[in-house]
A and B are shown apart, each in its own frame.
Chain A
Amino acid sequence: MFTATMAALLAAMILALARLYVGPTLYDRVLAANAFGTKTVLLIGVMGFLTGRPDFLDISLLYALLNFIGTIAVLKFFRYRTLGDRVEPSGDGQ
């Protein structure tokens, strides 16, 4: 049961990696990286159940968090070219 789930997750991860390498635009790559991170979270959870060590769940919770933060950082980086604030001479947004 868990082995079948793990096989499905590994197949999905390989497909996401393929999109990561091919993806013509940048946003394809960001989407694929986000999906890869999510499946890693699930993989670690299922692996914890397979090996009988539920301590792994802390790691998967942590990585779910960091995946989100990483995606937001990458998007802000490419939209605004900086991770801080932008100094606007006229003072309006964007």
Chain B
Amino acid sequence: MSIESIIDIALLVFLGITAFAILKLRALFAVVMLSSVFSLVSAGLLVHLDAVDVAFTEAAVGAGISTVLMLATLALTSRREKAPTRSQALPLIVVFLTGLALVYGTLDMPRFGDPSAPVHDHVAPKYINDTESEIGIPNIVTAVLTTYRGFDTLGEVTVIFTAGIGVLLLLAAFIREPSGLRVQTMDHHLVLRVVTKVLIGPILLFGLYVQFHGEYGPGGGFQAGIIFAAAFIIYALVFGLDNARRAVPGAAVRVLVACGVLLYGGVGFVSFLFGENYLNYSVLGASQVAGQHLGILLVEFGVGLTVAAVMVSTFYAFAGQNPPISDEDW
């Protein structure tokens, strides 16, 4: 048993324990904290499996922004989960049988990490060998994400966009623009305000760094969008939602949500105008490599824009509501 498998087993066991605790606990605040721990442990597992880009995104989204958004939601509901009223035997049997069927299905697949599996034989060597000459960027993950599998990423951005407008449609009745009576709550916390003022600039700079450095190291559009949103969210938390809405109005954010997807789709459309296939970036520049660079840059920026705008507008939608539960219910 090497140290690698010990770390793997320990992390997976910890994941299982945390998942079980999330299921059994009824205190919802503890569930929110435990699910952020769950995401952090998953990020650790992904780092251990050497998937740095995915670990980055998991740490940013799962352990960071999701916690804040779930807390904003928790402020609107009750403190404990209601106990189930009907018997749980039949759902348990159905889930168990489905799980058995899925496990039976995996018996046909090649073993984990098998070097002669089809996924490692046909497509992966082509990506690894050809990225340097065809695309010219060191981060193969970004090359696969944006160029070789560009349609998939277009689908992902559209999914995020659809989820964002779904949330906004459901909560549109509750979003109120600023009125005179609302007061900021953190007026008396001088240290917090000064430090946040100092830090928001570097956070945004870090977001820009991650955005444009995604071709050379872990990073890219998804992670950078989260970092942008985090900067605006901390501004809203410390200085009040009113001031945040004046700085970045809700209408502007809603327009930006669509602009990201438009940018992505538009880059593909420009390739049409040059007579090539959709999302073929080679024609956007003087040479193939230059065209690919420009295409990847624009596409990643579109992704970052949509992700940041969706996160910020979701936060506005949830935090902007007045909690219907009064303090005594807690």
Measured CA separation A70–B322 after assembly (Å): 21
Subset of 10 A-B contacts with CB under 8 Å: A62-B64, A63-B40, A72-B234, A77-B74, A82-B75, A84-B319, A85-B241, A93-B184, A93-B188, A94-B187
Measured CA separation A89–B203 after assembly (Å): 36
Are B183 and A63 in contact, CB atoms less than 8 angstroms apart? no
Smallest CB–CB gap between B311 and chain A, Å? 12
Are A87 and B218 in contact, CB atoms less than 8 angstroms apart? no
Measured CA separation A47–B318 after assembly (Å): 37
Are B59 and A63 in contact, CB atoms less than 8 angstroms apart? yes
Are B323 and A66 in contact, CB atoms less than 8 angstroms apart? no
Residues from chain B with a CB closer than 8 A to the CB of A89 are 181
Q: Which of B65-73, B91-99, B272-280 contacts A (4 or more CB under 8 A)?
A: B65-73
Measured CA separation A54–B322 after assembly (Å): 45
Are A85 and B185 in contact, CB atoms less than 8 angstroms apart? yes
Smallest CB–CB gap between A50 and chain B, Å? 12
Residues from chain A with a CB closer than 8 A to the CB of B206 are 61-62, 65
With contact pairs A83-B319, A85-B242 given, residues A59 and B75 touching in the complex (Cβ less than 8 Å): no
Measured CA separation A73–B206 after assembly (Å): 21
Residues from chain B with a CB closer than 8 A to the CB of A70 are 36, 63-64, 67-68
Q: Is A24 an interface residue (CB 8 A)?
A: no
Residues from chain A with a CB closer than 8 A to the CB of B183 are 85-88, 91-93
- Closest residue on chain A to residue B209 by CB atoms: A58
Are A76 and B241 in contact, CB atoms less than 8 angstroms apart? no
User: What 1/0 flags go to B3-24 for Cβ under 8 Å of A?
Assistant: 0000000000000000000000
Measured CA separation A79–B184 after assembly (Å): 13
With contact pairs A81-B330, A84-B321 given, residues A66 and B71 touching in the complex (Cβ less than 8 Å): no
User: What 1/0 flags go to A12-24 for Cβ under 8 Å of B?
Assistant: 0000000000000
Measured CA separation A89–B33 after assembly (Å): 33
Smallest CB–CB gap between B175 and chain A, Å? 11
Are A59 and B47 in contact, CB atoms less than 8 angstroms apart? yes
Task: Report which of A47, A55, A69 forms a contact with B217, defined as CB distance below 8 A.
Answer: A55
Smallest CB–CB gap between A41 and chain B, Å? 11
Task: Report which of A58, A69, A80 forms a contact with B185, defined as CB distance below 8 A.
Answer: A80
Measured CA separation A87–B33 after assembly (Å): 27
Measured CA separation A94–B242 after assembly (Å): 16
Task: Report which of B36, B185, B323, B330 forms a contact with A94, defined as CB distance below 8 A.
Answer: B185
With contact pairs A55-B218, A59-B47, A81-B330 given, residues A73 and B185 touching in the complex (Cβ less than 8 Å): no
Are B47 and A56 in contact, CB atoms less than 8 angstroms apart? yes
Residues from chain A with a CB closer than 8 A to the CB of B71 are 73-74, 77, 83
Q: Is B291 an interface residue (CB 8 A)?
A: no
Q: Is A46 an interface residue (CB 8 A)?
A: no
Measured CA separation A86–B183 after assembly (Å): 6
User: What 1/0 flags go to B250-275 for Cβ under 8 Å of A?
Assistant: 00000000000000000000000000
With contact pairs A66-B60, A73-B67, A73-B71 given, residues A58 and B210 touching in the complex (Cβ less than 8 Å): yes
Measured CA separation A65–B204 after assembly (Å): 11
Measured CA separation A83–B203 after assembly (Å): 21
Measured CA separation A59–B74 after assembly (Å): 28
Are A83 and B68 in contact, CB atoms less than 8 angstroms apart? yes
Residues from chain A with a CB closer than 8 A to the CB of B330 are 81
Q: Is B124 an interface residue (CB 8 A)?
A: no
Are A85 and B217 in contact, CB atoms less than 8 angstroms apart? no
Are B185 and A86 in contact, CB atoms less than 8 angstroms apart? yes
Measured CA separation A83–B319 after assembly (Å): 5
Residues from chain B with a CB closer than 8 A to the CB of A80 are 185
Measured CA separation A87–B55 after assembly (Å): 40
Measured CA separation A25–B56 after assembly (Å): 32
